[in-house]
Amino acid sequence: MPKIEFDKKLGAKRMHKPIVINDGRVSIKKKSKISKVVLGKEVGIRISGWNFIYAFLLFSVIFAILIINLVKLQVVAGEEMLNRSKENKVRITSVEAFRGVIFDSKGEKLVENVSSVNVYLLLEKYYNEDGLDNQAIENTLDTLGGILGEDWKKAETDGTVFTSLSDRVFSIYKKEPYVNKILLASNISNELVIKIKAVGDTLSGVVLDNGNKRRYLYGEMFSHLLGYTSEASLEDLKKYSQLSSGQIVGKSGVEKYYEDQLRGTNGKVAQEIDVFGRSVSDTQYTLSEPVSGKSLYLTINSDVQREMYEVLKNAVEQYSAAGGAAVIQDVNNGEILAIVSYPSYENNLFVNGISQVEYDRLIKDKRNPLLDRSIGAQIPPGSTFKTIVAAAGLEAGVINKNTTYVSRTGYTFSNGASFQEFRNHSYGTLNVTDALMVSSNIFFCEMIRDWNMDSLTKYLEKFGIGEKTGIDIPGEMPGRLPSPENKRILAQTTSPWLEEIWYPEGDSCNSVIGQGITLVTPIQMSNWIAAIANGGTLYTPHVAKKFVDENGYEYEIPFKEIRGEIASKNSLDLVKKGMWQVVNGSRGIAKSLGSTGTTVAAKTGTAEFGKLNSEGIYEDTHAWVTGFFPYENPKYSFSLLLEDGGSSANAVATVKQLITWMVANGFVE
């Protein structure tokens, strides 16, 4: 057993829990007088009093340092610190987040971010005790302007053009007196980068910054749909609190509609500045990291979109139309497969600020390429409107499937005024499906003479006439509901030549055939046809499907129906049958759509406007066609407009090309 000895020099001291080593094991034994333990040989353990002295000295030194620094701050540098706290402040600067990318329904990229070099002016370099040194700024910008040449001379998105760089800077500073960093030019070439760096010492406050810009991969084909981004205006800065001067923002299309989601969340950095706005040091403190915007996936199929654009473009040119628009829509949920307006514009021109020459070219173009005709062109619908009028008359019980009227020449109103079929045709006795097949004016005129316009307008409103559909593209127009009240308002405002009184025969008969004061947009037309095809539900048409964040999480975008059960199945089935006969009936006026490879139901419209020629025929007409397919199991509705494009036969020939292509490429089973 190991021997336990005591250190006689220290003497025995009572330990609270002495350690006893027994047979190689450690145990605790109470009330033992042990001060030293030896295992095999004598080992000394001693606590020196100097250890306490060293600890006391270390504590004293640390305490002395704290006292000295406190005195230095409070007494020696107290006045300096006080002035600094009064005169210095912190500037919070945004760090722009990457904007979300936009894809089509297949995941094909439509919009991306690409790197660019931007030129900025830091105003803090030009502050002195008297404020901003305007002359120094002008001198610097005169030199820089000579290097940049035409690169900075761009029109703002509102058309504003500055005469010089300094004019631009002072204009922005006047609107935003606390701004420090002002964008001078975007996406400059490598050659200009080299030139600016070569004279960098003479350009105080001019900095180059690696940024990014939007690039639209298909230009005109998607411009009205996607829109574009550009530098934020003062109005944008007021609307979006996260934006700061020089940052980009969506100006039109889905870029604007979904700005909040695409933009993401900017990061923030803090930097100490003096009373003149100058940085006290180069140190920046990150307050928050930027979070990239969500990527947007559309319902649009880019293949159909491209084909529709080419078909419509060729038709506008072939028929010398002023323009055109077309929509393909899923009848069962409101998703837009393709939506096109022609002529279009190159949206990439606006990204860095459009040149004055290009801007003038666009706004002076009589074809109005900036107008999105698919949602903004308010045009008389012509005979396509008879689809709604027929459904309304059936629903109200004014007519039924057995009701007949006689189409004849020499038809007149009670006051002797004449009214006729298109080109003065005569179709004989017609029921409602026959009337749709041959597009009879007299049938629907007779129907409204047996009814009244005030009652009809209630049904028109159910189909969305006179109101926006709510599509997720900015710039939609509501069209116009034909009603006695709206005619009175027009006569008192924009159309003083118009009589305020509503004529129960003349005005009503013109309205039910899609003339008079009736106005619709292509998106409204495809939407009401979709409701007819699906059995009576009017959905909100939309081009966006889902968002995906930087972590891969998906967020479906919900869209609700506008209203359901707008008409009964029996009423709508009769209208659908009439539309089927337009293509497949013995006297159908759109028989060419019977050879597309699928069963199409359609309705045509030739909306007359302008002056009458010597034969009493209108010199100008809008060409419409609308419908759905396949007839047996409706999937898609469509509408196509050729503005001032001749007869509806031109529109029929155009849409036939598109539907035939869709069938051949597997979009229809």
For 314-357, the pLDDT digits (tens) are 999 999 999 999 999 999 999 999 999 999 999 999 987 777 78
Contact 124, 277 (CB under 8 A): yes
The residue-averaged pLDDT of 99-104 equals 97
Residue 92: how many other CB atoms lie within 10 Å: 11
| Strand stretches in 551-600, DSSP E | 554-556, 561-563
Over pLDDT 90: what percentage of the chain?
A: 58
Same domain, 290 and 383: no
Is 506 inside any structural domain?
Answer: yes
**Residues 225, 258: contact at Cβ < 8 Å?**
no
The answer to whether residues 292 and 309 belong to one domain is no
User: Do 281 and 178 fall within a single domain?
Assistant: yes
The domain in which residue 293 lies consists of 91-298
Q: What pLDDT is stored for residue 88 in this prediction?
A: 62
The least confident of 292-306, 349-363, 644-658 is: 349-363
Give residues with Cβ within 8 angstroms of 103, minimum separation 6: 109, 110, 295, 296, 297, 298
Q: Is the pLDDT of residue 405 over 80?
A: yes
Domain-located, residue 21: no
525 within some domain: yes
pLDDT band at 276 (very low <50, low <70, confident <90, very high): low
Q: Is the pLDDT of residue 396 over 70?
A: yes
Is 632 part of a structural domain of the chain?
yes
DSSP 128-147: ETTEE-HHHHHHHHHHHHHH
Residues 333 and 462 placed together within one structural domain of the fold: yes
32-41, 169-178, 610-619 — which one is most confidently predicted on average?
Answer: 169-178
> Hey, which residues does 342 pair with through a beta bridge?
324
**Which among 87, 109, 134 is the end of a domain?**
87
Q: Is residue 598 part of a domain?
A: yes
CA distance 233 to 226: 19
The residue written with tokens 């010492």 in the block is 201
pLDDT, position 414: 93
Indicate the residue among 39, 67, 87 that finishes a domain.
87
Residues 214 and 141 in one domain: yes
Over residues 635-658, mean pLDDT: 97
Tokens of 654: 């155009």
Q: Which of 357, 352, 432, 421 has the alpha carbon at shortest distance from 398?
A: 432
For the ranges 146-155, 160-169, 273-282, the one whose mean pLDDT is highest: 160-169
Inside any domain, residue 8: no
What pLDDT shows up at residue 23?
A: 45
Of 263, 298, 333, which residue sits at a domain end? Answer: 298
pLDDT of residue 14: 41
Question: Are residues 96 and 61 part of one domain?
Answer: no
Residue 305: pLDDT above 70? yes
Kindly indicate the confidence band of residue 500, based on its pLDDT and cuts at 50, 70 and 90.
Answer: very high
Residues 388 and 505 in one domain: yes
Residues 29/18, Cβ–Cβ less than 8 Å:
yes
Does the residue 363 lie in any domain? no
pTM for the model: 0.79
On whether both 322 and 438 belong to a single domain, the answer is yes
The confidence score (pLDDT) of residue 278 equals 61
Question: 323 and 198, same structural domain?
Answer: no
pLDDT higher for 513 or 11? 513
Which tens digit of pLDDT belongs to each residue from 203-230? 888 888 777 889 999 999 999 999 999 8
Which neighbouring-strand residues pair with 629?
A: 636
Q: Is residue 582 part of a domain?
A: yes
Q: Is the pLDDT of residue 288 over 70?
A: yes
Tell me the two tokens of residue 604: 């045509």
Continuous segment of H or E residues that includes residue 195: helix 190-198
Mean pLDDT for the chain overall: 85
- Give the model's confidence band at 521: pLDDT under 50 very low, under 70 low, under 90 confident, else very high: very high
State the average pLDDT over residues 151-174.
Answer: 68
| pLDDT score recorded for residue 286 | 82
Q: What is the CATH number of the domain that holds 454?
A: 3.40.710.10
Are 259 and 324 members of one domain?
no
| Whole-number pLDDT of residue 35 | 41
C-alpha to C-alpha distance for 442 and 203, rounded to whole angstroms: 78
Higher pLDDT pick, 232 / 379 = 379
- Listed range (489-503, 530-544, 608-622) with the worst mean pLDDT: 608-622
d(CA 526, CA 636): 9
What Å distances lie between residue 499 and 224, 490, 519, 607, 610, CA to CA?
37, 9, 18, 21, 18
The total number of structural domains in the chain stands at 3
Question: Higher-confidence residue: 196 or 20?
Answer: 196
pLDDT band at 579 (very low <50, low <70, confident <90, very high): very high
Instruction: Please compute the mean of the pLDDT values over residues 626-647 and round it to a whole number.
Output: 97
The length of the chain is 669
Judgement on whether residues 382 and 267 belong to the same structural domain of the protein: no
Looking at residue 82, its pLDDT comes to 52
**Can you give the three-state secondary structure of 57-97, one letter per residue?**
HHHHHHHHHHHHHHHHHHHHCHHHHHHHHHHCEEEEEEECC
* Residue 148's pLDDT band (cuts 50, 70, 90): confident
Phi, psi angle pair for 7, to nearest 5°: -85, 110
pLDDT at position 246 over 90: no
Identify whether residues 232 and 321 lie together within a single domain. no
Please give the distance of CA 393 from its chain centroid, rounded to a whole number.
39
* 10-19, 77-86, 338-347, range with the lowest pLDDT: 10-19
> In CATH, what number is assigned to the domain containing residue 203?
3.90.1310.10
16, pLDDT greater than 70: no
Whether the CB-CB separation of 626 and 602 falls below 8 Å is answered with: yes
